[in-house]
Structure 1
Amino acid sequence: MFETYNAIGILPIVANGNTGPNPGTALTPGNYSVALGVGATYSQDQIAGFSSRGPAPTRRPWTDPSTWHRDDWNPIKPDLSAPGESARSALPGNRYDSWSGTSVATPHLAGAVAILCQRNPLLTPAILYNLLLDHTVRPSLGEPYPNADFGWGRLDVSLVLAATPDPDRPWLVITELAIDDPFPFGNSNHLLVPGELGQMTLALRNIGGRAAYDANVRVASRDKFMRIDNPATQLGDLEPGEKADNAAAPFSIMIHDLTPQGHTSERSRTGTSKLSARTLSIDSAVSGKWYSILMFRCTMSFC
């Protein structure tokens, strides 16, 4: 059901549960990877004792990366926290009282999403999820982040609103990224092993309110064990809401046959589009993140 919600453009926002503080107490459906699970904080910006803790279960479907909204989820819960202890709450009969619970914290996130969608109706569930997690307050007592208490931090609506794409100009974001090792140059096990030639495809979406012209993406390797043979691709013009990808001409990634076991390689990607005579970088929209490729040295039977 939650996958259907995401498919039709709805981000499920669900209380994480009130069974803390022990680890692994996050409840379904708040611990689903396709939902934004919400923990509760109190006025001193600490996590409430009752707030359920992660991690999420380490079995399928939670361990299936195709259900994750970001590469580094793996499987952290809650995703985000918000005030949820002794919060002044409205009751029937024109009354008020102080209530506590992750279900009290959850409406803060739902209201924030409504504000973001009012600013930019083109935001997808994955983009909303990452905007919220990337622009949050991280109380010092919860470091390091992300963690199984706060998730990625405590909601700050002003921070995430300031980072929300402006609907009056083009704004490009990477919405999909996949790496594969198809035949005849790989063994099609979706892992990059030494000596293989892999492929990387990605998709850009214009979530701004104006057209982006001559959109292009360039990928660069900073690793001596990885070579990218065709580092640039042109994706053309993107109207608001339109998406384009390089599936017809994937980036080629050559993995050196002397790559050490367990090696992690970093690659950067940048993108630009033209608005009149100006160049618009997409780095700000994707937070300048790095993606990781895990290298494995093993026989085909174990890969």
Structure 2
Amino acid sequence: MPLTVLVPGGSGQLGRDLAALASASVDVVAPGSAELDVTATGQVLAAVGALAERAREAGSAPVVINAAAYTAVDAAETDEERAFAVNADGPRVLAAACASRRVPLIHVSTDYVFPGDASAPYEPADELGPRSAYGRTKAAGEDAVLGSGASSWVVRTSWLYGKSGSNFVKNMARLESSRPELSVVDDQVGGPTWTLDLAGGLLELASRVASGDGPPQRILHCTNAGAVSWCGFAQAIFKHLGADPSRVRPCTSAEYPQAATRPAYSVLSPKSWLDAGLTPMRSWEDALDAYFADAK
């Protein structure tokens, strides 16, 4: 079924990749925060109404994929009110507007809603326990969406990187050219995810939702497969840059203090995604290979 998709947060790295996957059968409208403030009720109601009308005229199905988020993890520790406004109030406003227009909503969330003390990949139903302001506000956003009465799904992901914006891959590339050695934490493990791969998965889910075949499970996990520490990820990036990975030295989180506590282990299980019959995500190594090949 043809789709007309509204992507709040369209100027971010995930939003840009969702827009990049627009096609003859997938019409993507991806306003940035300057064009659509998800905390402004009037703007959101107008945007969702315009989406429904655009879809009706095109004979397609409307879906909202919310990629808008306050993602400055450390800054959120002293700016939790603003983070809450974007990460919790914004999804609540969006969900209410979607419910009123009967438009399905897919909301993107994070591994940071978990405490990070697990020894096996997290399943959607596992107990939450965010240890940062960012994680708390994202967990509140999940609750707002799922309790709204809208036809909605929450998709948790992790360690995003893409062509645009600031991210770990870009930071490592910048530091490789300016420092002889780097120390990167080796006691935090997660799943790096290329935003282009995630965008493809979200649009596949949107197509299923639009056709009335949305998964019965309303919380799904979607990351590139596998797990690695930040140090291991940095070493893999250095290899792609043609640099000696031994220049990346492991350190502990205690040696690299940050304002916000990061989960020590935040790997997300793919079981919910696979049980829904959605396309398996490739490994984080293969995704990183493709990212660098695409950048050439």
Q: Which TM-score applies when normalising by structure 2?
A: 0.28
Q: Which TM-score applies when normalising by structure 1?
A: 0.28
Q: Which has the higher contact order (CA 8 A, sep 6+)?
A: 2
Higher helix share: 2
Is the radius of gyration larger for structure 1 or structure 2?
1
